[in-house]
Structure formats: C-alpha cells, structure tokens
Structure 1
Amino acid sequence: MKHLLRLSNVLLLACMSLFVLSCDDDDEGNPPDMEEMGTNIVVTAQNTEALSSLVAALSKADENADSDLIGTLSADGSFTVFAPTNDAFTALLNSLDGYDSLDDFDTEEEKALLGMILKYHVVAGTAAASTDLSEGQEITTVQGETVTVSLSGGVFISDATDTDAEVVMADVENTNGIVHVIDKVLLPQAVIDALNGEEEAMDDLVEIVVATESLSSLEAAVLKANLATTLQADGPFTVFAPTEDAFVALLDVLGDDYNSLEDFDTEAEIALLRDILLYHVVPAEVLAADLAAGTVATALMDNSIEVIASGETFVIGDASETNANITATDIMATNGVAHTIDKVLLPQSAIDFVASLNMKNIVEIAQETDDLSLLVDALIKANAGLVDTLSGDGPFTVFAPTNAAFAALLEALGDDYNSLEDFDTEAEIDLLVDILTYHVVSGTAAFSTDLTDGQMLNTVSEDMLTVDLTGGVFIADATDTPAAVTTADVEASNGVVHIIDKVLLPQAAVDFVASLQTPNIVELAQSVDDLSLLVDALIQADAGLVDALSGEGPFTVFAPTNAAFAALLDSLGDAYNSLADFDTPEEKELLAGILTYHVVSGAAVASTDLTNGQVITTLQTETITVDLSSGVQLDDKTDTNANVTGADNEASNGIVHIVDKVLLPQATLDALHN
C-alpha cells in the first residue's frame, strides 16, 4: 500500500530539481518543440516534450468515468492554464512515498485526487495574458480554490503550500485560451489535506464529520437521526455540511424550547431532523468544479436544492429565502465529497415546522384578540378544561363568537343574565359548556376553502352544525338565524379559527332560552285577569304556595276562574264575602287544602295526555277523575264536575288548564259541614 508523506518540508526542496525551460533569441520567446499557432491547449501540450507529464496526468485522471479533462481543454472556450513541466511532476512524485510515476495513481480515489490537482491549474472563462495579471490578484480555479499572483521579481503563482511556482514561459496562445508554463505543480488545500492525512485509507463521510471540530453539531444531528449507517454506505454522496455556527443559528430561530439538538426528542421532531439532514445529501459525487446553476435532487424524496450562480462562485438555495454560502469545498471521502456551508438548509417541511413554532395556539389567538375577550371569559367560567384542551395539539376548528355576539345572547336571556358571571348554578355552567363545545370541531383544521354547501359538522358537544355558502359563509345552529363568518381562516398552531357574529346554540340552549322567556305558573296566573282571585287565594293561604309554584316543577295546575271563586264564596254563605274572610289559621289551612287539590306535582300533563276515567292524585293527596264524555271535565268530591275551559297553557315549570269551578276535596267538604 502506498503511503502519502507530509509535504510541509518536502515541497521546500522540490524547486531545487525543477526544470527551467530555456529559450534562445532565434525562438522569439517560443518554448522548445512548441508548434506554431492554430492548435488548442491539449494539442499544444501533446506537441511539447517538456509537457509530456502533464499530458500523461490528464490521461490518467480521465481514466475515471466521471472525468473528461482532455475533452474539456480541447473544446471551444476560453481557458487560462498554468502548465507544470515534466521536472515539476518529477519533483512532486519524489516528494510522495510510494509514487514513482503517474501510473502509481491507479485507484479511483487516487485518480480523482490527481484530477483535483490538474483542475487547480485551470481557470475557465478567460484567457488571461501575463499583462492582465496584477499584484496580489486572487484567481478562482476550476477546482474551486484560488491561486494568488505575485509580480515581485517575475511572475509567480502562489498555491496552498509555502513555495510559489514561477512562470518560466508566459503567454503561449492557443485557439481556446492561453498557457503559462510553470516550474512547480500547484497544490490546493484539499489535496494537501488528503496527502497529509492518516496513512490508512481515506475516511468515509461520517468519519470526516466526526474528525472535524467545526462539524460537531452535524455529528450530533447525524447520530440523533440515526443516519450514520446511511452516510457510511458506498455512495457516492455529496454532503453540504453545515458548520457549528449554522446549527446555532437554526436553534436560535426555533426559539426557547430548542437550546440543543437534545430538544429534538419526540418522534415527530426526530423525523423532521432526519428530513433536514437528508436534504443536505446529493446521491452523487459533485466536486466544486462540477457545480453548475440549476436544480439538484437530494436524498430527501421529492425535495431539491438550487445551485445558484453568485459572482465567480455559487450559493445553495433551499425552501427559505436565505441562501447558504459554500465555505470550503472538495473534502474528499471514500464514499463521496463534502462541502461546508454556513447555513442549515431547510426543506419545506422544516419551514412549515418553524412557522408553526412562531404561530399562536387557538387560546393564545383568542387572548390576543380584543373582540374575543368574552369568549375567553366564557372558557374560563365554564371551568371544564376547555382552555387546556384548546391549547393542546389539536387539530381543531373553532367558530369564535365576538363580544357583540355574547352581548346579544345575554340580552336575549333577560334581566337575570347581565354578564357571564350570572351563569353560577351547576345547571347553568353545564349549559355554558354545552354551548362552547358546540363551537368546536375536533380532529381537523377546516379552512373556509375546505367547507362545502350543506356540509354537516359534528361538534365536540355531539350536536351538528350545517354549512351554508349562499352569499358568504354561514353556520346554521338549532335556531332559525345562522351565524355569519366575519373573519375566516385565522391559522393557529393547533388548528384554525373562524370569527362569527352570533353565539351558536344547540337544541338544549334553545330550550333553555325558551324556558326563560316563558312565565312560570304564578307569573302566568298573574298575567291573566280572570285568574286574579286564584292569585289572591295563593297569597291568602300563606302556605308557601306562591314560591312552590314559581319553582322548577314540573306541575299541572287546574286553575279556577274568578267566577268559579265567586260561586264558591256564594255557596259558603254570608260569612265569606271575599277570600280575605279566610283569616283564621284553620281557615287558611282549609284554603290551602282546596288550592293544593288543584295541583299535580311531578308532571306537566297536557289535555291530549288525559284519558277517560283517569284518576289523578293531587298534591293535597286526594284524587280527581277525568271525564271525557263531553269535552274535558274533572270530577271532584261534589256532584258537579268542573269543565276545562282553557286547556294547555304552557308555563316554564309546567302546564295550566283553566276550569270553571273550584274543585273541592272530601276533607274540605267534611270541614265545611261541621
């Protein structure tokens, strides 16, 4: 096996044995054996004995399938070539252990190394005469690195070593460029690094990353994403390797939750890191000299990077608006090549991820939107974990009512609901939770463009909403009035918010609102003039019946008219001219017994629910019997039935049937006859 020696001292001796081309006056500056003008650079070299080693080197490098230096330098164009003499190549070979001739460059890697050396002698795009050169001028070569011009005491070309090459014959013109013959083989830094490497075989790409201090974060990322085995495969690969500073900049963009690569700890984050790294890998060997403007496919499927011309070099474009600069080129590996860059390249999936980190979640959006402050208050008031839920992963679609929408709801609820604080009973808070969850669709972020006319949306409350796209975007609830989407598609990190102009009401809320607008039994009696004596009787009895019949119920009440009470008083004789005459405790108790005989507790029984002969137990504990033989009549303990003259008057806590007679239980009859 050949061993490559360090060149730091050896190359200093090389110039002692260099061949310097001589020229006599009769040649007028032409090098020995140079043919007359009319040939290209390769033919000129082939016809010049002192450049035979250069020709041999070109042929040897072109034995690699991906190399065509002879073809390139024979083609039309404009090249400047610094052509080393045979003695220059001999000096190079003498400095290398195991390389007695150019034939010893016999492996694919060694031929590639030789190709890099040769490309370092070629400048493309210009034919620079010696008079065009200036002191300190830096010239970028096809290999990608630069050489520097020195004009002190002659024309000298500085490479990456400590020894300059002298131009011993300048300005040899050809059909496709100009040749300057030099007395030393120029060496770029990439070749020196390769020659000064370990005596063992060249490192693979992962080993290069591990051994390079400025790529320590890339190393950590490769290990974190479990890609080491992939990048140690045969390849060839080209890796655009972000430096330490590039990763620091990425973490800074990601925010406080990402202080190191260790913070990529969820399955999704590690998958994203893997995608980012694969986006830096091109499944082919692309040296600096091979770079050309255009789109290049990466190892991340369906994702490409852009090679973009920038002056005399190139930058790399990703899915972001910031390009990456190439900071070092042609770091050769056994399975490809690496170029360092100053930015982590981001595919679209990473751009979307970064955008999501900077995006607010649904609750944060609501908190930052002044016109949704009552929605936030409602979520807090409900105290059902909705704030935490809507701050979670989602995705959710939320229809968010404005403050005006909540104000309109409170107004519709009446005087007892002046603010959300008035939802203070367990039943009212449960209702508020039902209303709020009716505004949430879980499992999807449905943007307005995803909605279709007539689409049914299943909400978290399990009640359905309907989409109406007639003349805008409207959301229909259990009422007759749909909500209009006034601001659509407010994107959140965990879903989407559509702002609406109305609080959506499920059927339970509609029923609740209706119950608030319906009077209770006492209020109903108070509103009917012909039941004023019934109201007076409830008050006179002083038995808590007003409060009881204003309560939740449900109750069925058979309500005697004023005429019915007048008939009762008339039947009782001169001692009872008005209800005020029930003034002793015993008489009040008697009156309470009569009134409770008109009340059925625990059910709101409509007239259509009554059956002929049905026996109904009253709150007083005695029964009445239903007679449907001629209308709806009620049989009490007297011989005269009461007729239902006004049936099915609904109250919020039951139902009232107006009757034309005061019903009397047996206990009352017994008391009156004693």
Structure 2
Amino acid sequence: MKTLEKLSRFTLLSLFLIFASCSDDDNGPTDPPETDVTIVAAAQATPQLSSLVSALQKADESSNNDLVAALSGEGPFTVFAPTNDAFADLLAQLDGFDSLDDFNTQQLQDLLAVVLTYHVVADAAVMSSDLSDGQTITTLGGSTLEVSTQGGVFISDATAEAAQVTTADIVASNGVVHIIDKVLLPQAALDALADVLLVPITDLALGNENLENLVAALVAANGDLPTVLRGEGPFTVLAPTDEAFETFLDGAQLGDIPVDVLTNVLLNHVISGEVTSDDLTGLGSGYTSTLAVGAGDQNMSLFFDTSGDVTFNGVSTVVMADVKALNGIVHVVDAVIDLPNIVDHAVANPNLTSLVAALTNGGNTTFTDLLSDETEDFTVFAPLNDAFDAFTNPNSNDLNAILSNHVVVGAAAFSSGLTNSYVNTAAEFDTDENLSLYINMDDGVTLNGTSNVVLADIVATNGVIHAVDAVIDLPTVVTFAVADPNFSTLVQALTELTPSVDFVSVLSVQGGAGSDPFTVFAPTNAAFEALAAIPAEADLIPILQHHVVAGANVRSGDLSDGIMATTLEGDAITINLPGTGDNIADVTDGAGNTGIGIDAVDVQAINGVIHVLDTVLIPDTTN
C-alpha cells in the first residue's frame, strides 16, 4: 500500500475548526424536520448505505475522528449519502485499494474523513425543494459543491463527473439525507490521491499541466472526443506534451488545421485496448492499429519499436510510461504522431531500410514523390531487408523497373479482398504497357509464384503495404505460366513432355536477345483436358509452337476483326472480333477449327503478352 504523505495536514480536528455556516439564501432552511431517527440511524437502517456506515466507522479508527458521534448529534445537517455501488466505483478507481479495509493507517483514515465530511453541510437541513440550478453549497470542510437541476438533481465536486440524487429527502431528527450515485471528492482528496486515483483518460489529461495543448486539441478537433475518452474503453493513449504540440504546429494555430484532419491526427494516438510498456517490450517491434482512419476506411497502422527507447512510427518517443487511468493507460510522448503515408511507414520500419535505400539511391526522388501522393491510393509489396540481401538480379534488369513492379497504382488492396487474379503494376513493357502481377491465394499470398506476403495490411493514408520475403523480378511469359495454376498442364507440356526442345529458355529471353517479344495464346488446363489425349512429343512440339507469335507484343487493343498472325510453327491463326457467347474474341487455328475462345487478355510480361484460350490450337498437319 502506498503512503500518502500529503494527508498529514488533513485531520478531522482541523476540519471542524473551519465549519462554514450556510445562510438561508445559500442552503435552505436550518430547522430539521421532526423525527426520532438520527442521520446515522437512518443510514444504518438503509441497506444500500451499508458501505457509507462502514466508511464512517473506518474513519473513526483514527484518533482524530469521531464522525459517527458527530452525525448523531444535534445538527442540523444535510448529508449527501453515496450508495454501496458508488463506493465500489471509487475503490475501482484506486490503484491498490480493494476494500475499505485498505484504509488501514491513521493517515488514510484521516483522508477518508476528509472525503466523508465533504458530503456534509453543517447548520442546515436542505430539502430538495430548496435546491436551485447553479446554487453553490459550502460543505463541512469549507469546500464547495455546485447544484444542477437540469434533467434531475446533480451535485458537482472537484472531478469532471457529477453525482445524481437518486433518492431525496430522507428525513432524520437532526437533518436530511439525499442518496447519490457517486462518492464526492474535494480537490484536497484528489491531490492526496494523485498517485493512486484512476480517473478517465480525459480527466487525467485535464489535470496534467503539461498536456494542456492536448486537451485544447481534443476540444478543437471534435467536441465528442473528450467524451469518447471518458468512455468505458479500455484505451491506450499516446499523449503528446505541450512542447510536442508546439513543434507540430510550427507557429500555426489549432484552428488553422481542418477539423477532420486534426480529429484523425488525435485518433492516431489512441489504441483500442490497454497496452503497457511491458507488453510492448515483450513484443519487441511490430504494428498495432489506432482509431485513426486510413486508406480504404481501415484503421491506421502504427509501428512500435522497443530496441532502444519505446518509439512510435520512428518519430515519437515515450517519456513517461504506464500512467494508469480508470478506462485505460496513458504513455506521454515527446512528439505528435502525424498521419503516415506509404513513405513514412517504410522509413519508420528498420526491416525496410534496404528498400528505402534502393528507392532513394543517388538522390532519386521518383518513388518518394510518387508514394507520397495523397491523391492516389497505392498497394506496395515491400521486400524486407533479407529479401534484398538474397536478390542477385539474374537478368540485370533496371532496379527502378524492378521497384516499380512492387507498386500497384490506383487501389489499396487489402488482404481480405485479394483473390487469385492479375493486377497491373507501375512497371512497364516498352513505354506504356504496365506489367501484370499474378496473386495466388491458395496458400497465403504468393506473388508471381516467387514472393510471399509475410506481413499484410500496413495501413497508410494513401494506401497499404504488404511486406514480402523476396524481391519480385520483372516477369517473363514463362513466369506467369509457372505461377498460375491454371497453366500447370501447359508447363508440363513445355518441359517434361518435350525434353528435346528448351521452350523455357526460348520463351525467357528478353530485351531483344532472342525472338522476343512474344504473343502467347495460352491454353488452360481445361483446354488440354478436352483433348482425347495429349499427343506424343513429335506431334506436341508443333502444337505448342502454334500458340506463339514471335517478334510482336500484340495486346487486345491491337487486334482487329479478321487479323491474321503467323505462329512459330509456320501456320497462321485468324482472330475475329467480337467473340461469340462469353468469348472476348474467336480464334480460327491452322487446322481450320473455329470458335476457339479467348477468355482473358493482356497478361503483360517484360518479354511479351499472354492471352488465355479455352481450347488447344491445332496446326495444319497437311502442309
């Protein structure tokens, strides 16, 4: 149990020396109603006041106090009597106090007497009808209470929460009792209990002279925020100091910041749940979510790191931890945590330093400018440091192009919304044809068959980051064939079933090193299953060659009705637009088979483009 040194000046003897008389104008009539039951006897006879009786008796264990006898005396008195539930609520707010038995020293018992006498008005029996809105009442200890009659009868003490009179005008021989739903606390008790009294987070901030700017910001941003932080919670609040706010404002005024922006900045300091410094240290580093709203209306991510001091988003350090409140916990921090964009998150995370170095190599600002743009949403697949260490760039591709291949522009794609599908990245074939990226969700999230998402959904203001375990190199048409399970039979045909031809090497060349670029018409597994049997190697080789047009990257926008293209096998195929039924286009193969459907188009690789077929093309076997 903590000792409360501030209590030495508070004794019942000194309190009785400063009784304050209450005039008729202030506190109502002074003549008590006629009855034979004293205030103490009335309390003893009321089950919901048993804790009050116990509190009076506990206070009287100090040699300085004799409250039971005093309240059994002539009076008249007015007593605001807290219920058992009110005392239970008070004990819940006191760190280390489980029951009234914990007031087990003379110092603590004298403090209890200070609290109890704050509920007593001497020399007056004030009936409820004598109370008026805005009335000020002087208590036995010389402190004041304020009355409100708006929507009921409420009594305000030195805290931010008023007590409500739930039962009025219990008449006793020496005064009157009004039952209330809260233990009233004078400022003297608040000062004495400062180390152990748990108050709502808002009240904690109000009582801290170094958090005045935070309180002002809460009020300026949203009138409901102080009320929210008085709610049940629990919350963890990262409370910037006054100096932190001054630095953040940089000479501006709170009113200069749009209300919605300021509100979101403040919510970026609030975590749902109670997170202690020990919790953070045990985790080491990682992400949690704040109540701020980021891209896609998702809660903003917050990076914490405890490798040295406890820091948040790499910009704000805890200077005072674990300040307990009734509805959560507060950590005082030395900087306002602004709303992070994609770049801010990347810079804050030490596991992404290699990525940041690559993005900014040689003073390059292309990516930092792009990914700081608040008018677009982005999805970034961010390779961790180990991924960069392991990457050898086997095709000597341009690093900027590789980095662009990790960025999807125009969408914040969260893991919950991902499906087996193709998306376009910021990387390009030639100058204006964005490369595709294949996302596979069969076992986690895998990209182009080589890179796995190991940490998903880092939410920023302008998008989302997914941390990945491998750098995603620029894809060839072979990359997509291998990555997409719908092409597994095609891959088998190109490799196991045709060992005499190195189709993989032929279709992997790029940059004009071979017959690239290629336009590949890729049959699905279902297309191969529709064959009576997959032909032997000698017949299969020309069939596979009949699906490839060399030397051209022919996208859907380049097609026209009746266009013909010569394949590697030597025969031409004809494409007709529009297609029949669900087909995007119809293909006639070299053997004259018609109505072959193109089901998907423009899977763009760095060395060509793939269009998906529902039927295997057969060349002319008579020529």
Q: Same fold (TM over 0.5)?
A: no
- Larger gyration radius, structure 1 or structure 2: 1
Bigger share in helix: 1
Q: Could you tell me the TM-score, scaled by structure 1's length?
A: 0.26
